[in-house]
Protein backbone atom coordinates (compact mmCIF):
# COMPACT_ATOMS: atom_id res chain seq x y z
CA UNK A 1 0.00 0.00 0.00
CA UNK A 2 2.85 2.36 0.84
CA UNK A 3 4.39 1.68 -2.57
CA UNK A 4 1.10 2.44 -4.35
CA UNK A 5 0.63 5.65 -2.39
CA UNK A 6 4.20 6.73 -3.13
CA UNK A 7 3.75 6.12 -6.87
CA UNK A 8 0.50 8.10 -6.80
CA UNK A 9 2.26 11.08 -5.23
CA UNK A 10 5.01 10.90 -7.86
CA UNK A 11 2.40 10.82 -10.67
CA UNK A 12 0.62 13.89 -9.29
CA UNK A 13 3.93 15.72 -9.01
CA UNK A 14 4.88 14.96 -12.63
CA UNK A 15 1.43 15.97 -13.84
CA UNK A 16 1.78 19.31 -12.10
CA UNK A 17 5.18 19.88 -13.69
CA UNK A 18 3.79 19.07 -17.12
CA UNK A 19 0.89 21.50 -16.70
CA UNK A 20 3.22 24.27 -15.61
CA UNK A 21 5.53 23.51 -18.54
CA UNK A 22 2.66 23.89 -21.02
CA UNK A 23 1.78 27.32 -19.64
CA UNK A 24 5.31 28.62 -19.18
CA UNK A 25 6.86 27.61 -22.53
CA UNK A 26 7.78 30.84 -24.36
CA UNK A 27 6.08 31.22 -27.74
CA UNK A 28 7.70 33.01 -30.67
CA UNK A 29 5.42 35.54 -32.38
CA UNK A 30 5.60 35.38 -36.21
CA UNK A 31 7.13 38.49 -37.81
CA UNK A 32 4.75 40.78 -39.69
CA UNK A 33 5.44 41.38 -43.40
CA UNK A 34 7.05 44.67 -44.39
CA UNK A 35 4.48 47.17 -45.74
CA UNK A 36 4.40 47.56 -49.53
CA UNK A 37 4.18 51.05 -51.09
CA UNK A 38 3.47 51.28 -54.82
CA UNK A 39 2.81 54.16 -57.21
CA UNK A 40 1.27 53.33 -60.59
CA UNK A 41 1.74 56.04 -63.25
CA UNK A 42 -0.20 55.59 -66.49
CA UNK A 43 0.88 57.60 -69.52
CA UNK A 44 -2.16 58.80 -71.48
CA UNK A 45 -0.26 60.92 -73.99
CA UNK A 46 -0.74 60.23 -77.69
CA UNK A 47 2.85 59.08 -78.24
CA UNK A 48 2.26 55.87 -76.27
CA UNK A 49 0.22 54.52 -79.19
CA UNK A 50 3.44 54.03 -81.14
CA UNK A 51 5.34 52.02 -78.52
CA UNK A 52 3.26 48.85 -78.19
CA UNK A 53 1.84 49.72 -74.76
CA UNK A 54 -1.27 47.83 -73.74
CA UNK A 55 -4.17 49.85 -72.42
CA UNK A 56 -4.64 49.74 -68.68
CA UNK A 57 -7.42 47.32 -67.76
CA UNK A 58 -9.44 47.07 -64.56
CA UNK A 59 -8.12 43.51 -64.15
CA UNK A 60 -4.59 44.95 -63.96
CA UNK A 61 -5.68 47.33 -61.22
CA UNK A 62 -7.44 44.56 -59.30
CA UNK A 63 -4.35 42.36 -59.44
CA UNK A 64 -2.21 45.22 -58.16
CA UNK A 65 -4.73 45.87 -55.40
CA UNK A 66 -4.52 42.22 -54.43
CA UNK A 67 -0.71 42.36 -54.19
CA UNK A 68 -0.73 45.47 -51.98
CA UNK A 69 -3.68 44.47 -49.82
CA UNK A 70 -2.26 41.01 -49.04
CA UNK A 71 1.01 42.57 -47.89
CA UNK A 72 -0.44 45.68 -46.30
CA UNK A 73 0.72 49.15 -47.26
CA UNK A 74 -0.22 51.97 -49.64
CA UNK A 75 -1.12 52.29 -53.31
CA UNK A 76 -1.17 55.52 -55.32
CA UNK A 77 -2.33 56.16 -58.88
CA UNK A 78 -1.80 59.00 -61.31
CA UNK A 79 -1.87 59.67 -65.02
CA UNK A 80 0.67 61.45 -67.22
CA UNK A 81 -0.34 64.18 -67.74
CA UNK A 82 -2.29 64.73 -64.55
CA UNK A 83 -4.79 67.58 -64.22
CA UNK A 84 -3.02 70.48 -62.50
CA UNK A 85 -5.54 70.56 -59.64
CA UNK A 86 -5.50 66.79 -59.01
CA UNK A 87 -3.02 64.84 -56.91
CA UNK A 88 -2.30 61.14 -56.73
CA UNK A 89 -5.25 58.97 -55.74
CA UNK A 90 -4.18 56.94 -52.72
CA UNK A 91 -5.39 54.02 -50.64
CA UNK A 92 -3.99 52.64 -47.41
CA UNK A 93 -4.32 48.95 -46.53
CA UNK A 94 -3.79 47.63 -42.98
CA UNK A 95 -1.36 44.76 -42.57
CA UNK A 96 -2.95 41.31 -42.24
CA UNK A 97 -3.41 39.99 -38.69
CA UNK A 98 -0.56 37.83 -37.49
CA UNK A 99 -1.34 34.09 -37.34
CA UNK A 100 -1.33 32.65 -33.84
CA UNK A 101 1.78 30.95 -32.59
CA UNK A 102 1.59 27.23 -31.80
CA UNK A 103 0.90 27.37 -28.09
CA UNK A 104 1.59 24.13 -26.25
CA UNK A 105 -1.70 24.23 -24.37
CA UNK A 106 -4.40 22.71 -26.61
CA UNK A 107 -7.26 24.81 -25.21
CA UNK A 108 -5.30 28.03 -25.68
CA UNK A 109 -4.34 27.01 -29.22
CA UNK A 110 -7.99 26.47 -30.17
CA UNK A 111 -9.02 29.77 -28.58
CA UNK A 112 -6.32 31.74 -30.44
CA UNK A 113 -7.20 30.03 -33.73
CA UNK A 114 -10.82 31.15 -33.37
CA UNK A 115 -9.82 34.74 -32.62
CA UNK A 116 -7.48 34.73 -35.63
CA UNK A 117 -10.22 33.51 -38.00
CA UNK A 118 -12.51 36.31 -36.80
CA UNK A 119 -9.79 38.96 -37.21
CA UNK A 120 -8.90 37.62 -40.66
CA UNK A 121 -12.51 37.77 -41.82
CA UNK A 122 -12.88 41.37 -40.62
CA UNK A 123 -9.56 42.33 -42.27
CA UNK A 124 -10.62 40.86 -45.63
CA UNK A 125 -13.91 42.74 -45.53
CA UNK A 126 -12.12 46.01 -44.79
CA UNK A 127 -9.60 45.39 -47.61
CA UNK A 128 -12.42 44.80 -50.10
CA UNK A 129 -14.13 48.07 -49.13
CA UNK A 130 -10.89 50.04 -49.53
CA UNK A 131 -10.16 48.40 -52.92
CA UNK A 132 -13.64 49.13 -54.27
CA UNK A 133 -13.43 52.80 -53.26
CA UNK A 134 -10.01 53.11 -54.88
CA UNK A 135 -11.33 51.68 -58.15
CA UNK A 136 -14.27 54.07 -58.11
CA UNK A 137 -11.94 57.03 -57.50
CA UNK A 138 -9.55 56.29 -60.38
CA UNK A 139 -12.07 55.31 -63.07
CA UNK A 140 -12.68 58.94 -64.12
CA UNK A 141 -8.91 59.42 -64.61
CA UNK A 142 -8.39 56.48 -67.00
CA UNK A 143 -9.17 57.92 -70.40
CA UNK A 144 -8.15 57.67 -74.04
CA UNK A 145 -4.44 58.00 -74.66
CA UNK A 146 -4.54 61.10 -76.82
CA UNK A 147 -3.33 63.85 -74.49
CA UNK A 148 -0.76 66.30 -75.87
CA UNK A 149 2.55 66.58 -74.05
CA UNK A 150 4.19 64.16 -71.65
CA UNK A 151 5.25 65.75 -68.32
CA UNK A 152 6.90 62.52 -67.25
CA UNK A 153 9.31 64.01 -64.74
CA UNK A 154 6.47 65.87 -63.01
CA UNK A 155 4.71 62.54 -62.49
CA UNK A 156 7.90 60.94 -61.17
CA UNK A 157 8.44 63.84 -58.76
CA UNK A 158 4.93 63.29 -57.38
CA UNK A 159 5.69 59.58 -56.98
CA UNK A 160 9.03 60.24 -55.31
CA UNK A 161 7.47 62.72 -52.90
CA UNK A 162 4.85 60.15 -51.91
CA UNK A 163 7.36 57.32 -51.45
CA UNK A 164 10.06 59.43 -49.83
CA UNK A 165 7.94 60.99 -47.09
CA UNK A 166 9.64 60.69 -43.67
CA UNK A 167 8.09 58.34 -41.17
CA UNK A 168 7.11 55.69 -43.72
CA UNK A 169 8.74 52.29 -43.84
CA UNK A 170 8.39 49.46 -46.30
CA UNK A 171 9.25 48.29 -49.78
CA UNK A 172 8.75 50.88 -52.55
CA UNK A 173 8.01 50.56 -56.28
CA UNK A 174 7.03 52.92 -59.08
CA UNK A 175 5.30 51.16 -61.98
CA UNK A 176 5.54 53.49 -64.97
CA UNK A 177 3.42 52.49 -67.99
CA UNK A 178 4.98 54.73 -70.63
CA UNK A 179 7.39 55.05 -73.55
CA UNK A 180 9.69 56.89 -71.14
CA UNK A 181 9.85 60.19 -73.03
CA UNK A 182 9.37 63.52 -71.27
CA UNK A 183 8.46 66.09 -73.93
CA UNK A 184 8.11 69.18 -71.75
CA UNK A 185 11.73 70.13 -71.10
CA UNK A 186 11.10 69.74 -67.39
CA UNK A 187 14.22 69.30 -65.21
CA UNK A 188 14.92 65.55 -65.09
CA UNK A 189 14.77 63.46 -61.96
CA UNK A 190 18.36 62.69 -60.99
CA UNK A 191 17.66 59.48 -59.05
CA UNK A 192 14.92 57.49 -57.40
CA UNK A 193 14.65 57.58 -53.60
CA UNK A 194 16.77 55.03 -51.78
CA UNK A 195 15.09 51.64 -51.67
CA UNK A 196 12.61 52.44 -54.46
CA UNK A 197 12.63 50.45 -57.70
CA UNK A 198 11.41 51.93 -60.98
CA UNK A 199 9.60 49.41 -63.19
CA UNK A 200 9.06 50.60 -66.79
CA UNK A 201 6.32 48.90 -68.83
CA UNK A 202 6.21 49.13 -72.61
CA UNK A 203 6.28 46.61 -75.41
CA UNK A 204 9.21 47.83 -77.52
CA UNK A 205 11.88 48.34 -74.86
CA UNK A 206 11.89 52.14 -75.17
CA UNK A 207 13.78 53.97 -72.42
CA UNK A 208 13.16 57.49 -73.68
CA UNK A 209 14.65 60.19 -71.47
CA UNK A 210 14.82 58.12 -68.25
CA UNK A 211 17.64 55.70 -69.17
CA UNK A 212 19.85 57.30 -66.47
CA UNK A 213 17.36 56.08 -63.83
CA UNK A 214 18.12 52.48 -64.89
CA UNK A 215 14.54 51.21 -64.76
CA UNK A 216 13.76 47.50 -64.76
CA UNK A 217 11.88 46.85 -68.01
CA UNK A 218 8.78 44.73 -68.55
CA UNK A 219 6.55 44.10 -71.56
CA UNK A 220 3.29 43.98 -69.54
CA UNK A 221 1.95 45.17 -66.20
CA UNK A 222 1.26 41.56 -65.25
CA UNK A 223 4.95 40.69 -65.64
CA UNK A 224 5.88 43.66 -63.45
CA UNK A 225 3.44 42.47 -60.77
CA UNK A 226 4.88 38.95 -60.94
CA UNK A 227 8.32 40.46 -60.31
CA UNK A 228 7.02 42.29 -57.24
CA UNK A 229 5.38 39.11 -55.92
CA UNK A 230 8.59 37.10 -56.36
CA UNK A 231 10.65 39.83 -54.71
CA UNK A 232 8.34 39.86 -51.69
CA UNK A 233 8.38 36.08 -51.40
CA UNK A 234 12.14 35.89 -51.72
CA UNK A 235 12.83 38.89 -49.51
CA UNK A 236 15.02 40.50 -52.19
CA UNK A 237 14.80 44.18 -53.05
CA UNK A 238 17.48 46.32 -54.58
- 16 lies in some domain: no
Is residue 176 one of the residues assigned to a domain? yes
Integer Cα distance of 176 and 199 in angstroms: 6
C-alpha neighbours within 13 Å on the C-beta side of residue 78? 26
Helix (H, G, I), strand (E, B) or coil at 109: helix
What does the pLDDT read at residue 21?
40
If phi over 0 gives left and psi between -120 and 50 gives alpha, with beta otherwise, what is residue 141? Answer: alpha
The answer to whether 46 and 146 are in contact (CB under 8 A) is yes
Task: Note whether residue 50 is domain-resident.
Answer: yes
- pLDDT digit string, tens, across residues 86-122: 889 999 998 888 777 665 666 566 666 677 888 888 8
User: For residue 138, is it within any domain?
Assistant: yes
The phi-psi region of residue 75 (left if phi > 0; otherwise alpha if psi is between -120 and 50; otherwise beta) is beta
Number of domains in the chain: 1
What's the confidence (pLDDT) of residue 33?
A: 65
CATH number of the domain within which 223 lies: 3.40.50
In a domain, 157, yes or no: yes
* pLDDT value of position 76: 96
For residue 79, what are the domain limits?
36-100+120-234
The dihedral formed by the CA atoms of 41, 46, 52 and 55, expressed in degrees to the nearest 10: 50
Q: What is the pLDDT of residue 102?
A: 67
Residue pair 18/185 in contact (Cβ under 8 Å)? The answer is no
For the chain, residues with pLDDT lower than 50 are 1, 4-30
The pLDDT value recorded for residue 87 is 87
Q: Is residue 109 part of a domain?
A: no
Q: What is the pLDDT of residue 103?
A: 58
Amino acid sequence: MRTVAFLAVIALFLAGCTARTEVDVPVETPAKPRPLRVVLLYDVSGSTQFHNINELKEDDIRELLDVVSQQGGELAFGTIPMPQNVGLVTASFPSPPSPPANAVNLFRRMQEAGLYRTALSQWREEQAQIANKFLADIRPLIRRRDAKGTPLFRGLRMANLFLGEPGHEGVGYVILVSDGYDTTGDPPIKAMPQGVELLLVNGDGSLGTISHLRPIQFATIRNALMYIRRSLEGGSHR
